[in-house]
A and B are shown apart, each in its own frame.
Chain A
Amino acid sequence: AQRVTQPEKLLSVFKGAPVELKCNYSYSGSPELFWYVQYSRQRLQLLLRHISRESIKGFTADLNKGETSFHLKKPFAQEEDSAMYYCALSGRGGSEKLVFGKGTKLTVNP
């Protein structure tokens, strides 16, 4: 069964501190992993995906197949990073549906 687990509902850090949002998944095969973000009063949008190996707004995420994890990291959190973050997975191929985790609300305090 496909499953995405985000163990933290809430995460609070101070500005300038490192931040890590955890994501673990269960999938039989080679999944595609994504992080989506929803800022206050804005629509849900893609932050990054593992196949691109990119860094967006200072965030990175590495797929660890051994630990079945895709944690999102940023070395120095900013107040504007405060948002709801969702980890998601799909199977290979563009027609696969996404399975979302329950989300982590990140608050970056001044």
Chain B
Amino acid sequence: GAVVSQHPSRVICKSGTSVKIECRSLDFQATTMFWYRQFPKQSLMLMATSNEGSKATYEQGVEKDKFLINHASLTLSTLTVTSAHPEDSSFYICSASPLRTGSGYTFGSGTRLTVV
């Protein structure tokens, strides 16, 4: 089945530093990947759509300069949280679809970011 690998699973960083999160599709190519943010006991909020070889598409209210997305290959997308602040602490999850009929989206295992 389709597998999406996300690293790191947990990260603690100091305020003002940047954190990079990687999302890899292991057994399929993904021209598009999606980045979500999830607060405790809440739904997934789509932050941006990562497009291979072009600029990411950000949802309304998401700061492009704060959440940098790079999709340099068909199997890798990265999300960098720049100048992190405690309010950026959250669960970040990526997803991609192998685009097989009825296959749904495969999610990474998520990254728990804590900014201290």
Same assembly? no
A residues bordering B, Cβ < 8 Å? Answer: none
B residues bordering A, Cβ < 8 Å? Answer: none
